[in-house]
Amino acid sequence: DARVTQTPRHKVTEMGQEVTMRCQPILGHNTVFWYRQTMMQGLELLAYFRNRAPLDDSGMPKDRFSAEMPDATLATLKIQPSEPRDSAVYFCASGLDVATADTQYFGPGTRLTVL
């Protein structure tokens, strides 16, 4: 049963601390997306990768957020320094680079609380 996994599932940290969230995409998928869910904005795209190359990260605050794919089995989203307004659920999704969006599979999310 192939699934997208995300760690940690929950993270509580203090303002100013570095936060790293990890995602393991489904084996064989070549696109990875990071989304953030907040009460105010709903689900919003932060960044996405195809074949490990970043294609669009315009949704991310550039000064504090960074997303990388060190290899095909790991995607990371880092916040440094974290702020209370970053509190949200962060979802990773992976998919196949085909002509539809049906093949995006979401992980369970990382719930981040910045105090």
Binding residues (CB under 8 A) for another protein: these are 4, 31, 33, 35, 41-45, 48, 50, 55-56, 91, 93, 95, 97, 99-102, 104-109
Q: Closest distance between another protein and the C-beta of residue 97, in Å?
A: 8
Residue 102, token pair as written in the block: 């049906």
Q: Whose Cβ is closer to another protein: residue 27's or residue 39's? A: 39
Q: Whose Cβ is closer to another protein: residue 81's or residue 106's? A: 106
SS (H, E, C) the chain: CCCCEEECCEEEECCCCCEEEEEECCCCCCEEEEEEEECCCEEEEEEEEECCEEEECCCCCCCCEEEEEEECCEEEEEECCCCHHHCEEEEEEEECCCCCCCCCEECCCEEEEEC
Q: Closest distance between another protein and the C-beta of residue 14, in Å?
A: 24
Q: Whose Cβ is closer to another protein: residue 20's or residue 103's? A: 103
Q: Closest distance between another protein and the C-beta of residue 55, in Å?
A: 5
Q: Whose Cβ is closer to another protein: residue 27's or residue 99's? A: 99
